[in-house]
Amino acid sequence: MAISGFEGFEKRLELHFYGDDPMGLRRIDFVSIRQILDAVQCSVVSAVGNRCFDAYVLSESSLFIYPTKIIIKTCGTTQLLKSIPSLLSHAFQLGLGLCGCRYTRGSFIFPKAQPFPHTSFREEVLYLEEYLPSSLCYKKVCILPSKACHSWHVYTASDHHHMVDHLPNIFTMEVCMTQLDGVLARRFFRRRGDGNSGDVAGKEMTALTGIGDINPTALVCDYAFDPCGYSMNGIDGAHYSTIHVTPEDGYSYASFECVVSVDSDVMEALKKVARVFRPGTMSVSMCMGQNAGVADVCSRVAGALKPLGLEIRSRRVEEFPAAAGIVTFQTFTARRK
């Protein structure tokens, strides 16, 4: 818990590996997963999986494990980057080699409450440089500023030889929202004395808020915290989506993230997310391949949000080395009466 309130903005770590085992990272047993998360200072509260990957709802956000990719996203005052030494040790024991890393986060609401190594972006980068192998020689560090206060921090490192095809037909969208509509945010508070488990209360919130309609084909694993807060993971084939909500007045926050194919109707999902939360400020970051039609994607994002009263305030595009792709970052503010 931060000094002034709970820190909603997440830290996100994505690691890519290479190896011959079809199961790869999915062979890491649950005891080892718990040990990895202990270093981060969070735990598993619910889980689901399919033939492609495993998805865990955490006490602070989410964990996704594919055979050659792992994504950890944590909020609050968690020490996300401290998962790296243990993660690399388990992967190497499975015969996997690290070939890519991406670390992203927004601007913390309560930066002074963050523990090492998250006290500053500089410290985070130094920590990454210390623990990542030197074979990840294609690197870039940047901060994409914003007039709407959701500046975006990005670090990438990759081994060009193994990362060539990791972003051919998919992209990752990360959405951060603050100043949530007060009436809608109240839906993410538990009913006092409801007696339900977090799983049961989570399913109620999913239905009540319309989150279940964002991707009706996804299998949803959801959880409601006490007295307030909500997390969900959706799995749909090889793709995931995730939502996390901190609804308290004064520092309300919600995030939406999804990995989808380039031919999916992700803009419709984005509009549904905006309607669920009606944020005052919203940022949309997208990571995509070099040939994804960046200008068109950016225009489609702005076009999807404008009819909902969200006006674009800034747009940045950054190209990253090797096969780390292109990152776009757009911010929006609401026209409110």
Q: Is 231 a catalytic residue?
A: yes
Note whether 313 and 329 are within 8 A (CB).
no
- Which residues, 6+ apart, have CB-to-CB distance to 334 below 8 Å? 179, 278, 279, 280, 281, 282, 309, 310, 311
Q: Is 311 a catalytic residue?
A: no
- C-alpha distances out from residue 82 to 73, 96, 154, 259, Å: 13, 19, 18, 25
Radius of gyration of the chain (CA): 19
- Which residues, 6+ apart, have CB-to-CB distance to 160 below 8 Å? 137, 138, 321, 322, 323
Q: Is 61 a catalytic residue?
A: yes
Of 239, 231, 241, 298, which Cα lies nearest the Cα of 269? Answer: 241
Strands of 310-319's sheet in order across: 219-224, 230-236, 239-246, 253-261, 170-178, 281-288, 326-334, 310-319
296's tokens: 């068109």
Q: Which of 16, 90, 118, 244 is an active site residue?
A: 244
Task: Give the C-alpha separation, 320 to 138, whole Å.
Answer: 9
Residue 174 φ then ψ, to 5°: -120, 125
Q: Which of 231, 241, 255, 283 is an active site residue?
A: 231
The reply to whether omega before 133 is within 30° of 0 (cis) is no
Q: Which of 46, 59, 61, 252 is an active site residue?
A: 61
Q: Which of 14, 59, 60, 75 is an active site residue?
A: 75
Q: Which residues are catalytic?
A: 7, 10, 61, 75, 231, 244
